[in-house]
Structure 1
Amino acid sequence: MSLSDTRIRAFKPKDKLYRVADRDGLALEVSPAGSKLWRYRFRWAGKATMMSLGPYPAIGLAEARQKAQEARGKVSTGTDPRSSRRSAREAQATADAALFEAVASAWRIEKQEGLAQKTVDKITAILDGDLIPSLGKVDIRTLGTPEAAAAIEKIAARTPHTAQKAKSYLNQIIDFAIRKGHREDGRKLTLKGTVRLPKAKSVPAAVEEEALKRVMGVVSKYPERMIGAALRLAAYTALRPINVVSARWSAIDLERAIWKIPGAEMKTKVDHDVPLPKQALELLREALGWRRGGSKKDWVFPAIAERGTPHMSRDTLSKALRDSGLRGIHVPHGFRASFRTRAREEFDVDIDALEAQLAHSVGDATQKAYNRAKQLRKRIEIMQRWADYLDALVGAQSKDRSDC
């Protein structure tokens, strides 16, 4: 007896799965849980075979009979009715793999290998916060410049520098898609001009002798001893402020007067040996007396508060100079410009030695390390002369005041 909707609704679940035939190979399967599924039974390659046509009532009786008839027609022509469904699934899988979201996620996995966690977090923030929300469901095989440019311009309206990074990542994702076969060779995006970066502001720095004299007068007499010591160390070494505030005792050899900063802590990712002049050694030996125990015992300038970083913040140094009347005149990073300008003019030193001391990026990693090692002897002499010069400025300022 053929099925009807009335009969189908009356079928109740049993302890075991059972099937009720309709006609021409169509049957309804009822599970112990009560769900109902259409099945089409046929013979293929000499064997009894069955395929699903979908659940009832989502697929009604009339539609199930139509699907069964279509499948029967394919069997009669020697075509496996399941092959088109497999092809459809494979096509869908290919399409899903080519979505921007999927390709970007695969690129991220490859990209993040060997990167610092901070860099990985930046990539994740731009992908998950900007690019994927805008382009995630777009097929990367057909992604065009107008769509991509609109996504970048949307970011640029908020944060130009983030947009610049996003543009770089987007181009890398397109290259990755081409390499993995998701996109035709040569189908690049044209994103030039989508981001206009604001004009870079120069860092306030005392590069003239009188201005530097004023700055050193403030630094040498700063009332809070730990902050004052950090500012003086920044001046004596011309290091980036982050390297100063994150200084570790385990990296400093007071006997050999050398500070070995590992590449992981350097902007250039190359190990950096810093010669320590006598003045820097003196203040570091004094700082040993303030050394704290516990988890902060290795920090030269440990944080006072328990929140944030375990060491002093760069902002602490910046605020100290601002509050001392040097706003717009000098910032902690400015000691690097002061050193580069004044040391060059006062001592007529080798520019390569200056660049090596500043750990500026020149050449590949091997060349950088070689240059700094080669220039170390020169740098030891330069840094002592520099520290003596700074102390002379402080002495000159004190004399100027006493003469008033």
Structure 2
Amino acid sequence: MPLTDRTCKTAEPREDGKPLRLADERGMYLEVMPNGSKYWRLKYRFGDKEKRLALGVYPNVSLKEAREKRDEARRQLQDGQDPGAIRKAGKLAAKVAAANTFEAICKEWHAKESHEWSAAHSGRVMAAMEQHIFPFIGQRPISDIKPLELLEVIRKVEQAGNIDTATRLRQRCSAVFRLGILTGRCDSDPAAPLVGALKTQQAQPRKALKRDEIPDFLAALEKYDGTKQTKLMMRLILLTFTRVGELAAAKWKEIDFDAALWTIPPEHRKLTEKSKKTAPPHLVPLAPQAIAILQELRTISGGREHVFPNRNQPSRPMSPETLRRALHRMGFKGKADVHGFRSTASTILNEGGFNPDAIERQLSHIERNKVRAAYNRAEYMEERRSMLCWWGDYIESLQK
């Protein structure tokens, strides 16, 4: 007799601890386990072998739904197919598809590349993919994604005004597709043709002080009502024209007063994480004016690890943003940028006839020519020391 829903609902386990099988029709039955769980099964024969196919768990799968699954399996048998084999093939295909989605391969690419990035950069890369790409094509098989589909996704970012982000997303998507090609999971890179289809951000040069603007800047700095430490930091970065992140992270152990030398360790330099492991430190000769500033700073923070300790968390360095905010308060918002001090110094020193290689070495720029880079290991130290002393005297002469 066919089962009823009431029979299924009221069925109890056997007292002897063995499974109870309640037959329905055409090989289907409800198996009641000793713990009370109930499973739909289909008994069938294929290739002279008796087999069983799971049809679901009662009551999640109702009696009606179980019968529909049974009838589908019976149709497969009539077509000469094994429903159990079809089920296994479907699970395998789903597993393969899940491993070959854009999101899965993107995470594989990220894990492969991120060991060369800082933790912060690694986090930003994945966060951008999670926000802008995964919601739209993350679960799509990577081999099915076409250029127009990807363009529509990246255009959403571009239309929001984030042109640089859109450009970087295209580049990173392209890297993911290239990994898919190399591992045989897709045949083409649909991000490659999008280069000309996206807007490009016009590069904006850093705002730099002109020669005749330096006296006004120094006068404004003198009147600045911020902390003494911030004012001295601003003077020091102007004298050394290092990167603001390098100066903010400076520690007293890096300063050699006797040799008038600041040694910036590679972990503080603007390098890839991979390069930081093998790169040499950057040596910065200190002019007498810079030494005087450091001597004054020593009375403020000499007992701390950092030359510029954070006011609220003294064990941490001052934020590089401090100088940007100070510039704005001094009235130079939109007129000058802290990073622009490097351009100002480079321009004036080149016009003054100093060795361009020594200037580039002082700026800690990477020499792309390997042969020249080998010669640059000499550091141009004496030239740079003379140049920094001249620069210190020059800045001092402009003080009103």
Partner of 1:402: none
Contact 2:261/2:284 (<8 A) preserved: yes
Contact 1:246/1:299 (<8 A) preserved: yes
Deviation of residue 119 (structure 1)? 0.7
Contact 1:25/1:68 (<8 A) preserved: no
Distance 1:345 1:51 in 2: 85
Distance 2:356 2:387 in 1: 11
Q: How does 1:146-225 map to 2 (within 5 A)?
A: 146-158=148-160, 159-185=162-188, 189-208=192-211, 210-219=212-221, 224-225=227-228
Distance 1:44 1:20 in 2: 22
Deviation of residue 249 (structure 1)? 1.3
Task: State the SS of the aligned residue for 1:298.
Answer: coil
Distance 2:123 2:106 in 1: 15
Task: State the SS of the aligned residue for 1:27.
Answer: strand
Contact 1:252/1:259 (<8 A) preserved: yes
Task: State the SS of the aligned residue for 1:300.
Answer: coil
Q: How does 1:202-351 map to 2 (within 5 A)?
A: 202-208=205-211, 210-219=212-221, 224-269=227-272, 270=279, 271-291=281-301, 297-306=304-313, 310-346=316-352, 348-351=353-356
Task: State the SS of the aligned residue for 1:192.
Answer: helix
Q: Percent of pairs identical after alignment?
A: 28
Deviation string 1:176-210 (CA, Å, 9 cap, x unpaired) is: 111222201566541113432443333232232x2
CA change 1:196–1:186 in 2 (3 A) is closer
Deviation string 1:234-271 (CA, Å, 9 cap, x unpaired) is: 11111122222222112222222222212222223443
- The aligned length equals 386
Question: Structure 1: which amino acid aligns with 2:146?
Answer: G
Deviation of residue 44 (structure 1)? 7.1
Contact 1:268/1:359 (<8 A) preserved: no
Q: Which runs of 5+ in 1 are unaligned?
A: 398-404
Partner of 1:144: 146
Partner of 2:275: none
Task: State the SS of the aligned residue for 2:133.
Answer: helix
Task: State the SS of the aligned residue for 1:113.
Answer: helix
CA change 1:372–1:353 in 2 (3 A) is farther
Partner of 1:401: none
Deviation of residue 55 (structure 1)? 3.2
Distance 1:205 1:313 in 2: 21
Distance 2:70 2:224 in 1: 90
What is the TM-score when the length of structure 1 is the normalising length?
0.84
Deviation string 1:1-60 (CA, Å, 9 cap, x unpaired) is: 554555444422345332234456433201245443222335678876433133344353
Contact 2:249/2:318 (<8 A) preserved: yes
CA change 1:292–1:73 in 2 (3 A) is farther
CA change 1:64–1:177 in 2 (3 A) is closer
RMSD: 3.0
Contact 2:287/2:385 (<8 A) preserved: yes
Distance 2:120 2:13 in 1: 57
Contact 2:23/2:30 (<8 A) preserved: yes
Task: State the SS of the aligned residue for 2:383.
Answer: helix
Task: State the SS of the aligned residue for 2:54.
Answer: strand
Deviation of residue 116 (structure 1)? 0.5
Pick which of 146-155 and 357-366 moved more: 357-366
Distance 2:370 2:29 in 1: 71
Question: Structure 1: which amino acid aligns with 2:57?
Answer: P
Q: Which runs of 5+ in 2 are unaligned?
A: 273-278
Contact 1:220/1:232 (<8 A) preserved: no
Distance 2:238 2:229 in 1: 14
CA change 1:24–1:337 in 2 (3 A) is closer
Distance 1:59 1:273 in 2: 79
Distance 1:104 1:343 in 2: 46
CA change 1:8–1:335 in 2 (3 A) is closer
Pick which of 358-367 and 89-98 moved more: 358-367
Deviation of residue 370 (structure 1)? 6.1
Distance 2:284 2:360 in 1: 13
Distance 1:319 1:7 in 2: 76
Distance 1:45 1:113 in 2: 53
Deviation of residue 213 (structure 1)? 2.9
Contact 2:174/2:189 (<8 A) preserved: no
CA change 1:326–1:69 in 2 (3 A) is closer
Question: Structure 1: which amino acid aligns with 2:312?
Answer: A
Question: Structure 2: which amino acid aligns with 1:156?
Answer: E
